[in-house]
Structure 1
Amino acid sequence: MMILVLDVGTSLLKGGVFNTEAHLIAKAEAPIKLISSENPLYHEVDPDNWISTLSLISVQLGLTKLKKLESIVVSGNGPTLVPVGIDGSALDSAMTWMDRRGIEEAKEISRICGYYVDPSFYLPKAYWIYRNKPNLYKKTRYFLSCPDFMNFHLTGVARTNLPAKDFTRYIWSEQIIKDLDMDTEKFPPFVKPGEIVGKVKKEIEQTIGIREGIPVIAGGPDFIMSLLGTATICPGRACDRSGTSEGINLCSHKPVRDSRLMTLPHVIEGYHNISGIITASGKALEWFKTISGKKELDYETLFEDICDIQAGSKKLLFLPYLVGERAPIWDPNARGAFIGLTLNHGRREMTRAVVESVGYAMRDVITVMEEDGLKVEELRVTGSQAKSPLWNQIKADITGKKILVPEHLDSELFGGLCIALYGLRYHNSLSEASEKMVTIRKTYLPQTETKKIYDELFSLYRESYRGLKGVFEGLSHIPDEERP
């Protein structure tokens, strides 16, 4: 029997067909086009692009020929919100996880809740629509996350994935919705990972080629899939979920009370997921490739080009806050900056500085975790960055932690498989499925001499933000130039 796992990323939609022994039978991916905006707080994508890309993936995987497909699991980027109409179609662009326009709405919700709610979360986005686009709000039948929208498209059943019961403070609760004078019926009931959402509709077989009647099992946010897909299910293990953004997720036996981090319930009952999300990591390197005239250069060649640049990029730092920053500074007004540029620096040094900035941002998060008494024993890296030996070694040297690279780098797909096998009762628990299936391909250890260089530069990296914070705040108050 076969299982189809889909992951809707920020820039790619990936699909994998696995058998029940966890062997990858077929894999495909296709790009997703984001909507550009001159407003740095606005980040959108057309949900119909997800659907058309799914059709392309279906052809690449040959889903029409798969007669033994047993189930489907979907994960997706988030917090990304889609307003959906009565007919099931998206009424407007989706506000992606990078979208931070709801700053004032988040402040109001934080006041009501009594705890911090970030503008990137689901509820501030829905509340922004309520306040700023009343006609759109009125037409909206459901507010859905990215994977929930895809499940709804496949099955016609609207549900909200709830990875664990205490996640409501990061998604929504009925009481908070009422306190904001919004309509609770626009927010679908919750479903847990591993539960069946519904079955594939007949129209989907006709348009996409996935056979009618196949069960669609609730997956969830991509970071939850990564925890399972890397076996980050024991205290001390941390997952470095690399890609467009970077998520450091530590499995802990205890929660922490620190506004610089998010303490989430772990998908494994009894544990906590201590999380720090770095907003633009891979996105920062993609940006620099583009502006430096190397957009078409593949990443393998890019890293070969900078491998002989000494650690520290000739004393050049880069702040990767191109779309503000979440953990640990939580500053939507933060901006990117090169620190220490001289006539001796060129494109290659600047490229390496951008790469190293991801390691500094990771260490910034890990340092806060350790200040709170948590132990980070190892980092299990996944995603596109894990393919680069140089980047893995840089991360090990900067953080001082060993970097473990799993056999399956697409942890979202592999985590989705874990959920499917648990939901179909091939395993007794999610932890059992994850621990049994995940294997480690390679380990990178910190290099002592290189780490000494990075220790000094990391201190200056933190100091750079503190020194520029007031400048960033001042820039945010300058009105955007209006076009004629």
Structure 2
Amino acid sequence: MLQPGEAAGRVQAGLAAQLGLRPDTQVCIAGHDHVCASLAVEGLRQGAVYNSMGTAETLVGLLEERPLGERDLASGLSFGLHPLPGRMFWMGGHSSSGGSVEWLRGLLGDEGLSYSGMMELLQERGHRPTGILFYPYLAGCGAPTPDPGAKAAFIGLTSRHGKGDLLMAVLEGNACQMEAMRRCAEQTSGGPIRELCVVGGGVRNRIWLQVKADVSGLQLRVPGIPEAALLGAALTAGVGSGLYASFEEAMASVRPPDSAIVLPDGERHSFYRRFYEQVYEKLRLPVASFGEWENAGGG
């Protein structure tokens, strides 16, 4: 069995000519795109995890290589061997993160709300918490309690709420779902998570980044690398072809632009922590289980 960074062979001469490659070009094993990306953005430093924000969202962190136990298997996280020697990765996924933002944006207006229009509504509304619960299970629930039949929900709406409030509630709900995953991962890994290294299309929405920081209470670091997964795969190929002697050397070779830093607001974090622990988390599983009633009426 080949490991990440090992050469699997060489590109066939005829195909290499069509692709404009040298005929002796090696083909190397890489890995899962998010694991590759974590190599490129220093997302695996002590106390930090890699967070990819797109249509779906993931968290990726490291463990010392060890047998998996019952608590690991019950966490809803995925596990695998990491390219770094003696390390494993854990990974949690949320399938309707940016997808739920796009879903609501498409509903607001006869032809949907433009991205710039969405940002204007959010900016006009400001950063104050909504007090609305949104459970973002439009395509089921991932870690820490995987359930493909889970259903989404808004709770706490009143006549005074407008489009900006609904948009903000979706951002808050996604951040709370990732907070559930983060807390589970801390218990599984046995260590605190102090920083999120965030990449993906979602980082263009700076209000969402601030909500994520306020809910989690963590510092967010946004590196200036547009294609982290591609760069990580290239680093893996560099190890396989002998350009780098190790993954540590390959990772050290990356010199990304200065990262943008997003810090939590203390007052908002205090509200969101109580909101998450006293309301969001207590209702999360009962709301998700509403999917059991989907066909109860024979529909």
TM over 0.5: yes
Equivalent residue pairs, number: 288
Distance 1:290 1:462, change over 3 A: same
Contiguous gaps of at least 5 residues in structure 1: 1-189
Q: Report the Cα offset of residue 333 of structure 1.
A: 1.1
Distance in 2 of aligned mates of 1:431 and 1:465: 40
Partner of 2:280: 461
Distance 1:210 1:324, change over 3 A: farther
SS at match of 2:294: helix
Distance 1:201 1:399, change over 3 A: farther
Distance in 1 of aligned mates of 2:213 and 2:144: 20
Partner of 1:419: 236
Q: Give per-residue Cα distances to partners, 1:83-107, cap 9 Å, x unaligned.
A: xxxxxxxxxxxxxxxxxxxxxxxxx
Distance 1:383 1:331, change over 3 A: same
Partner of 1:286: 102
Distance in 1 of aligned mates of 2:221 and 2:155: 31
Task: Tell me if structure 2 keeps the 8 A contact 1:286–1:295.
Answer: no
Distance in 2 of aligned mates of 1:295 and 1:435: 44
Distance 1:412 1:295, change over 3 A: farther
Q: Report the Cα offset of residue 355 of structure 1.
A: 1.6
Q: 1:224 aligns with which of 35, 51, 58?
A: 35
SS at match of 1:244: coil
Q: Give per-residue Cα distances to partners, 1:312-345, cap 9 Å, x unaligned.
A: 6531121111111110111111011111111111
- Equivalences for residues 64-463 of structure 1 within 5 A: 190-197=1-8, 198-200=10-12, 202=14, 206=18, 209-211=19-21, 213=23, 214-253=25-64, 257-258=71-72, 259-260=74-75, 261-293=77-109, 295=112, 297-298=114-115, 301-311=117-127, 313-372=129-188, 373-439=190-256, 440-459=258-277, 460-463=279-282
Q: Give per-residue Cα distances to partners, 1:364-384, cap 9 Å, x unaligned.
A: 111112334321121100111
SS at match of 1:191: coil
Q: Report the Cα offset of residue 457 of structure 1.
A: 2.3
Q: Report the Cα offset of residue 227 of structure 1.
A: 1.4
Matched AA of 1:220 = G
Q: Report the Cα offset of residue 205 of structure 1.
A: 5.3
Partner of 1:32: none
Q: What do you get for the CA RMSD once the two structures are aligned?
A: 2.5
Task: Tell me if structure 2 keeps the 8 A contact 1:232–1:251.
Answer: no
Distance in 1 of aligned mates of 2:65 and 2:16: 44
Q: Report the Cα offset of residue 292 of structure 1.
A: 2.0
Matched AA of 2:266 = T
SS at match of 2:259: strand
Distance 1:212 1:429, change over 3 A: closer
TM-score (normalizing by structure 1) = 0.55
Task: Tell me if structure 1 keeps the 8 A contact 2:48–2:194.
Answer: yes
Q: Report the Cα offset of residue 242 of structure 1.
A: 1.4
Q: Give per-residue Cα distances to partners, 1:36-76, cap 9 Å, x unaligned.
A: xxxxxxxxxxxxxxxxxxxxxxxxxxxxxxxxxxxxxxxxx
Matched AA of 2:246 = S
Distance 1:324 1:450, change over 3 A: same
Identity %: 26
Higher relative contact order (CA 8 A, sep 6+): 2
Q: Report the Cα offset of residue 441 of structure 1.
A: 1.5
Distance 1:317 1:309, change over 3 A: farther
Distance in 2 of aligned mates of 1:358 and 1:399: 11
Distance in 2 of aligned mates of 1:211 and 1:414: 18
Task: Tell me if structure 1 keeps the 8 A contact 2:122–2:167.
Answer: yes
Distance 1:398 1:363, change over 3 A: same
Matched AA of 1:466 = L
TM-score (normalizing by structure 2) = 0.86
